[in-house]
Amino acid sequence: MQILEVMLQAGVNGMPQGRFDLGAPVGIALTFGDSAPDGHKPLLVAASRGLDRTDAQRTVAGKSGIIKHTIESGDPVPFTKVSNDADLSQFSSLRRAHNGVCYPLQSGLDVYGAVILASPSSQKPSEQHLRLMRAFINQAAIAFQNAQLYQNLRAERDRIIEAEASARAKLARDLHDGPTQSMAALAMRLDFIRLLMDRDQAQARQELEQAREAVMRVGKDLRGLLFTLRPLTLETQGLSAALKQYEQRLRENDGVPIEIQPGNFGSELDPNIAGTVFAVIEEAVNNARKHARNAAIHVNVQQQSGTLLAVVADEGPGFDTNAVNANYTSRGSLGMVNMRDRARLVDGQLNIESTPGHGTRVTLRVPLKNRPSGAAQTPRP
C-alpha cells in the first residue's frame, strides 16, 4: 500500500542519522498474514525502508517481546537494543539499532500490525517527530481499515454472485435431467401412438393414458423447480404460509419425513428477512435430505423477544463440524457458505451443531428491528 511507503519514508527521514559506517535508519511496516493451522496470525513485512532483501521477506510470530507488548498495550514502545527480542533480532538491519520505537498499526479496536522505526544513532528521535509519526501511523491504519472493508465487501459480493450462478447452473441441470428428457421421451411415445391408432386402438388408448400420466409428472417436476426458483406464496402470504406449503410439497411429492412448525409470520415481515430465512431453511433441509437420508427432519420457526429463531434439526448420522470446516475451501461445496452469507446479509447469526451419531441442528437467529415502513420513506405523489 502506497500510504505505508510514504509513512515509512517520512518516519526514516525524521530519525537521527547514525554514523555513516553503521548504516541508515530503518523503517518496517508489519501486517498480519493469514492464520496458521493453530489459529495464530504471523506478521509479514508489508513495506520497508533501509532493509536488505532477506530481511524484507521475513515473517515473525509476534507472540512475545516488543511487538506483542506494543499490540497488546496499543501504545508506542521505545527500545534501545533488540538482541533479547525473538522477533526483532531476526532483522539483521535492526541489530545495529541503538534507538527505536515500535508503534501499533491500529484503528479503533482493529489492529492490523505494527510499525518499527529504528536508527543506529545513539541520539534519541525528537518528541515532535515521535508525535508526528504517531498521527501519521494512525492515518495509515484508517486507510488500511478502509481498504480492508472495501476488500471484504467485494469478496462478499463475489460470493453472492457465485452462489447465484451456481443456483442457476443447478436449475439448468435439473431442467435438463428432468423435464427436458421426459418431454423428448413423450414425443417419441406420441409418435408410437399415432402408428398404433390404425393397428390397435385398445393399445393406443392404453398408451395414451400412460402418456397423460407422464405429462402430469412433468408438470409436477416443473412446479417443484419453479418453487425453488421463487416461492410465490412467500411474497403474497409471507414466510409461515410458504413454509407450510413447502412441508406439504416435500411430504406428498417426495415422501420426506419432515415436520415444520412455521410460526406466525405473515406479509408484514421484511421480505428480505423472509426470503433469507426461507433460503437458509431450504439449504439446511437439503443437507439433511442429502446427508441424513430418510431421517426425520424437524423445523421450528418462532419469535423470541425481538428475534426470529429458526431451527432445522435432523435425526441423521451427524458429522464432525471441525473436520468439515478445516478442509472446507478444498471441498468445492457451497451449502454452508451460502447459509452463512445469507444470514449475514440480514445481520443474522448461524450456528451449526453436530456430533457424529447424534444428528445435526442448524440454528438461525435474525434480529427483528422495527424498521420504518417503506411507504413512510417513499412518499407517494
Ligand X SMILES: Nc1ncnc2c1ncn2[C@@H]1O[C@H](COP(=O)(O)OP(=O)(O)OP(=O)(O)O)[C@@H](O)[C@H]1O
- Rule CB under 6 A: is residue 341 a binding residue for ligand X? no
Shortest Cβ 2–ligand X spacing (Å): 39
Nearer to ligand X, 50 or 348 (CB): 348
- Rule CB under 5 A: is residue 282 a binding residue for Mg ion? no
Residue for grid cell 409470520: 265
Q: Binding partner of residue 319 among Mg ion, ligand X, none, CB under 5 to 8 Å per kind?
A: ligand X
Q: What would you measure as the largest C-alpha separation in the chain, in angstroms?
A: 111
Whether 258 and 250 have beta carbons less than 8 Å apart is answered as yes
Shortest Cβ 326–ligand X spacing (Å): 12
Q: Binding partner of residue 130 among Mg ion, ligand X, none, CB under 5 to 8 Å per kind?
A: none
Among 314, 342, 348, 350, binds ligand X (CB under 6 A): 314
Among 73, 272, 333, 349, binds ligand X (CB under 6 A): 333
Q: By CB under 6 A, how many residues form the interface with ligand X?
A: 16
- Rule CB under 5 A: is residue 335 a binding residue for Mg ion? yes
Nearer to ligand X, 213 or 320 (CB): 320
Shortest Cβ 36–ligand X spacing (Å): 24
Stretch that binds Mg ion, among 2-10, 66-74, 280-288, 303-311 (CB under 5 A): 280-288
CA angle 155/160/161 to nearest 5° reads 95
Among 31, 240, 287, 360, binds Mg ion (CB under 5 A): 287
Among 208, 217, 335, 345, binds ligand X (CB under 6 A): 335
Among 40, 131, 290, 344, binds ligand X (CB under 6 A): 290
Q: Binding partner of residue 343 among ligand X, Mg ion, none, CB under 5 to 8 Å per kind?
A: none
- Rule CB under 5 A: is residue 354 a binding residue for Mg ion? no
Residues near 144 by beta carbon (within 8 Å), at least 6 away in sequence = 1, 3, 4, 31, 105, 107, 112
Stretch that binds Mg ion, among 232-240, 284-292, 293-301, 363-371 (CB under 5 A): 284-292
Shortest Cβ 261–Mg ion spacing (Å): 23
> Which residues would be at the binding site for ligand X (CB under 6 A)?
287-288, 290-292, 314, 316-319, 324, 333-336, 360
